[in-house]
Chain A
Amino acid sequence: MTDLLLRQFAQLRCRRGVLPEAVCRYVAGIGSREGASTSLQKARFVVFDTETTGFDVQNDRVISIGAVALEGSAITIADSFEVLVRQHGVGEKESVSVHGLLKKDIASGVSEREAVSSFLDYIGNSVLIAQHASFDIAMLNRLLWEMFRIRLFNGVVDTASLAKRLEKGPYHNLAHQAGEYRLDQLCQRYGIRLHDRHTSAGDAYLTAQLLQRLLAKGQKAGITTVGSLLMQ
């Protein structure tokens, strides 16, 4: 119920004109989210990934967000998203080289506020999908809380958990072989060619292709509606 309260609080501040328009559009749109019985063929999914300066949800920063949408289980290239976040003092840390982002790229990005607002506009009320989603969601939620005192209200599916659920059954003990559900491993297992690893958009595109295969597999296991996918 906290979600509902947070949304009402946000809407109140929107009426007072305290929150930016993009945030208000997002909060208003979430209310018209499609129900649990919506067919997966009709829903819009946004598959996304964030690149961060590290894995500390409290202190690390988001340096890029990449995403691509699926509709009717087809990836729509035109409906994709990529943004670099300007972060001062970033560049010394180790993960930056992993992401292949240069200091100057990051310096050329947009502000955190702008990045997150345009992302909210892009996702709307769609179901969010990410590999190891809890981390990316937590990162974005921290930013949203700092800036607007809201969080993401969308339904969320983690592709790693979905793969586990489909491969091992819904009640499977989550203890598993280390690495078995890493994106590389999953892509290999599902015959997806690895490209553009470690850029947020590249990983999002790979995750989207993974989702297509998981949805096809899920359909045979009776997962045909948004509700059954979200295990609501």
Chain B
Amino acid sequence: MPSNTIVERVAADLRKNPPFCTLDALLLEDLASSITVSYHDEGEVIFSKGDALKASAFIVMKGAVRLFDTIDGEEVLVDMCDEGDIFGVRAIVGGTNYLLFAQVAEESLIYDIPVEKIKSLIAADNGVSNFFAGEFAKSLQEMERTLSSAFSQRHQRFSQQSYSSFLEHETLEVKPVTSVITCSADITIREAAGIMAESNIGSILVASPEGYPLGIITDTDLRKKVVALPGAVNERPVNEIMSSPVYTITGGKTVADMVMLMVKTKLRHFCITEDGTPRSPILGIISEHDIITSEGNNPAVIMKEIMSAEGVEQLKTERDKAETLLGVYLGQNVAVHFITSIMTEINDAIIVRSIRFALDAMRLEGLKRPSAAFCWLSLGSEGRREQVLRTDQDNAIIYADPLPEEAESCHQFYLDLGRRVTGMLESAGFVRCPAEVMASNPKWCQPISEWRRYFHQWIATPEPKAVMHSTIFFDFRPVEGDASLAGELKQGIFELMEKGRGFLEFFAKNALQNPPPLGFFRNFLVEKSRDHANKFDIKSRAMMPLADAARVLAYELKIPDFLGTVERFGKIAVLDPTLKDLALEAAAAYDFLIRLRAENGLEHSSSGRYIKPESLNKLDRQMLRNVFSTIGHIQQTLNLRFQLDYIRD
């Protein structure tokens, strides 16, 4: 019988890291008692490339181990493992020999885990099997597929030019829970907690003998008011810790009402009574969870307010509300697709409303609207529907070719429109583009023939630098006005690319500018070839390479729709079966990155672009490492597909 004290110590160390943190206590102890603990000095080689696989995998408990390959006699760093990282897993997944070298970089304490033990855990525990099968990405993809089909249905509704479909949910009623479990005010906290545990509910209403709501006890109350307090609080009556009074409402509330109420009161539970006051019998309860998960939930109220806004100030207020809601969504793990689509709809609505404000004002001022139709274009990430947080404005105006005698007045009119709208957007909190890529810039407020000339220039005589600067224009999307102008422009671009095939190669080459990092080591990024950095630019190092790759492939495959990166990869997977797995992996990766950036941005009230590695948990780090390897694969694929090794600068 091994020593309990020592086994428990080892188990406690293992429990700190995935995948063991979720492991059942008995399995964990069994695993702990099978471990051997080894100490290694700096420079020691644990295994070499070509060595026969050992009977153990390894987990670094202290210190650091570098994994590297040798190519033509040169060492190429593949990964740095620090505390909690597992290496040598090839012994688990199969094969005969190691493909890398593992060398101790700093004196290390390493737990050797028998391969047989891990294999039996993989069979016994889902968490462990997901972890080792590298199922992270895959299970995410599964989720992704179901989500994206749900999304595309939703999206079909959204993409109809009117907002009526969006608003129709406002009347959707939130169904309250009517089988409410209550308790009387004089039972003990222990009893109340017992009822909650038994009925598997997160909150319980305290009711008077007449069935009137007196207060509510939630999991949070139990955590904060009971567990955190000293003394025998358990035996005290529930009325000492309940939150009182309960917020009461009448039945029949819509999703929109409830979202508003939740944002306004910052409460998470609402009690429905007969007449809506605390002096009448309880009929039901609605929790935050019910609101968030209720069918058709969307911030319809915000949309409605935007569409009926009287002035620019209100646009800012509504956009601020949307940001609050975004926080709620992220906290609830709502699908990123849903979030970005909602935020895009809200941003679009603000743009549409601003344009109408401007057009109305111009009409009142007696300015004559030209007969040539226009279309407002969003560019870059906004064009890809990926703006979750408010980032820079990137927009442009395209208008139908006017008669020669009207050319000047037409240009002046739309330029005036562009200036007014960008100004309004600025006061709604959308920062001006530092490079002046906005509809207020005469260069980017042009008739379609001129836009075609721009694209012709970019495509016919591509220069690496010009390609880099013009990528945001290739992500244009019509937001308001005559969308057929945008469609016409896109067809024109396909024709131009057909003629100058070399352009796609330049385009692809641009997507390879930024190789991904390898992973993280402590609070540093591990790079193949540059100094290790202690902050991570998630935009340029992970999102842009993927967005660039999706754009190139979308144009190569002539996808006519105005899509975002995730949807582009989804479409690419359908159109080119050879790319299917990789494209789906990339879509999942991009989705993860959007969420990470949004969370980071909300937390630090910034664009979320720079992430400090120490703020990431181990799971996010593992996910990012997978994302980096997906980016690497995508770049390799582009390299082969466009034979980029033959093009030199």
A residues near B (Cβ < 8 Å) are 66-68, 73-82, 191, 193, 195-196, 199, 201-202, 204-205, 208-209, 212-213, 216
Q: Which residues of B contact A76 (CB under 8 A)?
A: 36
Task: Let me know if A79 and B62 touch, CB within 8 A.
Answer: no
B residues near A (Cβ < 8 Å) are 1-7, 9-10, 32-41, 62, 107, 109, 112
Given A77-B2, A82-B5, A205-B3, 5 new contacts (CB under 8 A): A77-B34, A77-B37, A79-B2, A193-B62, A205-B5
Shortest CB–CB separation between residue B259 and chain A, in angstroms? 48
Task: Let me know if A216 and B41 touch, CB within 8 A.
Answer: yes
* Complex alpha-carbon distance, A52 and B37, angstroms: 28
Q: Which residues of B contact A77 (CB under 8 A)?
A: 2, 6-7, 10, 32-37
A209 in contact with B3 given A191-B62, A195-B9, A196-B9 (CB within 8 Å): no
Shortest CB–CB separation between residue B88 and chain A, in angstroms? 15
Task: Let me know if B3 and A80 touch, CB within 8 A.
Answer: yes
Q: Which of B9, B34, B39, B40 is A78 in contact with, Cβ under 8 Å? A: B34
Residue picked from A74, A202, A204, A209, most chain B C-beta under 10 Å: A74
Task: Let me know if B6 and A201 touch, CB within 8 A.
Answer: yes
Q: Which residues of A contact B32 (CB under 8 A)?
A: 77
Q: Which residues of A contact B35 (CB under 8 A)?
A: 77
Q: Which residues of B contact A193 (CB under 8 A)?
A: 62
* Complex alpha-carbon distance, A79 and B34, angstroms: 9
* Complex alpha-carbon distance, A68 and B4, angstroms: 11
Residue picked from A67, A77, A202, A216, most chain B C-beta under 10 Å: A77
**Total number of residue pairs linking A and B with CB closer than 8 Å:** 74
* Complex alpha-carbon distance, A150 and B494, angstroms: 95
Interface of B is mostly: mixed
Task: Let me know if B36 and A75 touch, CB within 8 A.
Answer: yes
* Smallest CB gap from B38: residue in A: A74
* Complex alpha-carbon distance, A205 and B2, angstroms: 12
Task: Let me know if A68 and B38 touch, CB within 8 A.
Answer: no
Task: Let me know if A74 and B36 touch, CB within 8 A.
Answer: yes
Task: Let me know if A75 and B5 touch, CB within 8 A.
Answer: no
Task: Let me know if B39 and A212 touch, CB within 8 A.
Answer: yes
A66 in contact with B5 given A213-B39, A216-B39 (CB within 8 Å): yes
Q: Which residues of B contact A213 (CB under 8 A)?
A: 39
Shortest CB–CB separation between residue B335 and chain A, in angstroms? 41
Q: Which of B3, B34, B37, B41 is A201 in contact with, Cβ under 8 Å? A: B3
* Complex alpha-carbon distance, A80 and B34, angstroms: 11
* Complex alpha-carbon distance, A204 and B5, angstroms: 10
29 inter-chain pairs at a CB distance below 8 angstroms, sorted by A residue, are A67-B3, A73-B39, A74-B37, A76-B36, A77-B6, A77-B7, A77-B34, A77-B35, A77-B37, A78-B33, A78-B34, A79-B2, A80-B2, A81-B3, A82-B2, A82-B4, A191-B62, A196-B9, A199-B5, A201-B4, A202-B6, A202-B9, A204-B3, A205-B9, A209-B39, A209-B109, A212-B37, A212-B39, A216-B40
* Smallest CB gap from B12: residue in A: A195
* Complex alpha-carbon distance, A78 and B4, angstroms: 10
* Complex alpha-carbon distance, A191 and B7, angstroms: 21
Q: Which residues of B contact A216 (CB under 8 A)?
A: 39-41, 107
Shortest CB–CB separation between residue A114 and chain B, in angstroms? 13
6 closest Cβ pairs, A-B complex: A82-B3, A212-B39, A201-B5, A75-B37, A80-B3, A201-B3
* Smallest CB gap from A215: residue in B: B39
* Smallest CB gap from A195: residue in B: B9
Q: Which residues of B contact A66 (CB under 8 A)?
A: 3, 5-6
Q: Which residues of B contact A209 (CB under 8 A)?
A: 37, 39, 109
* Complex alpha-carbon distance, A212 and B39, angstroms: 6
Residue picked from B3, B36, B37, most chain A C-beta under 10 Å: B3
* Complex alpha-carbon distance, A74 and B62, angstroms: 15
Task: Let me know if A68 and B9 touch, CB within 8 A.
Answer: no
* Complex alpha-carbon distance, A66 and B36, angstroms: 17
* Smallest CB gap from B111: residue in A: A77
Shortest CB–CB separation between residue B208 and chain A, in angstroms? 47
Q: Which residues of B contact A196 (CB under 8 A)?
A: 5, 9
Shortest CB–CB separation between residue A14 and chain B, in angstroms? 26
* Complex alpha-carbon distance, A221 and B4, angstroms: 35
* Smallest CB gap from B32: residue in A: A77
* Complex alpha-carbon distance, A205 and B6, angstroms: 7
